[in-house]
Structure 1
Amino acid sequence: MAAFAMPTVEFAPALTRHVACPKQQVRADTLGAALEAAFRAAPALQGYVLDEQGAVRKHVAVFLNGDMLPRDTALARAVAAEDRVMVIQALTGG
């Protein structure tokens, strides 16, 4: 059986004001699996973060250890026990 890391996943206040979800350590080997595990604590949050195809929404940014990840490859990124995932609502101007 494969060993899983326990990265920390946190959602920014702009998201948790809609659906409460505390910072948590989750059991996962990829960032996508880490988010999936975090959504178990707050299933309604998934719709704010992922679109209908399961991809990161256009106005959401995912950071791994402070580095913003490209939306199209973020979910496949491997995670380690000491990793910190932060999900925020990205702001766009106009």
Structure 2
Amino acid sequence: MAHIIFTQQLARFMPVPKLEVQAADLRGALDGAFAGNARLRGYVLDDQGCLRENVVIFIDGQRSRDRVLLADALRPDSQIYILQALSGG
């Protein structure tokens, strides 16, 4: 099963459990993660279901490429890290 890890930046705003999901792509994994937590979904995805500008996702050490469809493929043992994108100087 793929593992979803939310970094501690998100923990300031809400509980962020480590989750295991079975999914073929990032969209399926996120749908599974957000099934019982609409507030967490609202922090990660916008009203159209796209990744918010202030959020970055890494899959197996590589930044996700598809911010709209979230169709990045997953392996059965993928590690998905969801974090707040930081900017500024």
- Please report the TM-score for the alignment, with normalisation by the length of structure 1: 0.84
Deviations 1:31-57 (A, max 9, x none): 111011111243211111001110000
2:37 aligned partner = 42
Structure 1 residue 91 and structure 2 residue 73: aligned? no
1:51 aligned partner = 46
C-alpha distance in structure 1 between counterparts of 2:78 and 2:3, whole Å: 6
Aligned-pair CA distance for 1:29: 1.1
How many residues are aligned here? 89
Say which of 7, 11, 27 aligns to 1:12: 7
- The answer to whether the Cα contact below 8 Å between 2:7 and 2:83 also exists between their aligned partners in 1 is yes
- CA RMSD, 1 decimal: 1.7
- The answer to whether the Cα contact below 8 Å between 1:19 and 1:45 also exists between their aligned partners in 2 is yes
- The answer to whether the Cα contact below 8 Å between 2:4 and 2:81 also exists between their aligned partners in 1 is yes
Deviations 1:9-47 (A, max 9, x none): 111111122121211111211111101111124321111
**Which segments of 5 or more consecutive residues in structure 2 lack a partner in the other structure?**
none
- Aligned residues: percent identity? 37
Q: Secondary structure at the match of 2:76?
A: coil
Runs of 4+ in 1 over 3 A off after TM superposition: none
2:20 aligned partner = 25
- Please report the TM-score for the alignment, with normalisation by the length of structure 2: 0.88
**Which segments of 5 or more consecutive residues in structure 1 lack a partner in the other structure?**
1-5
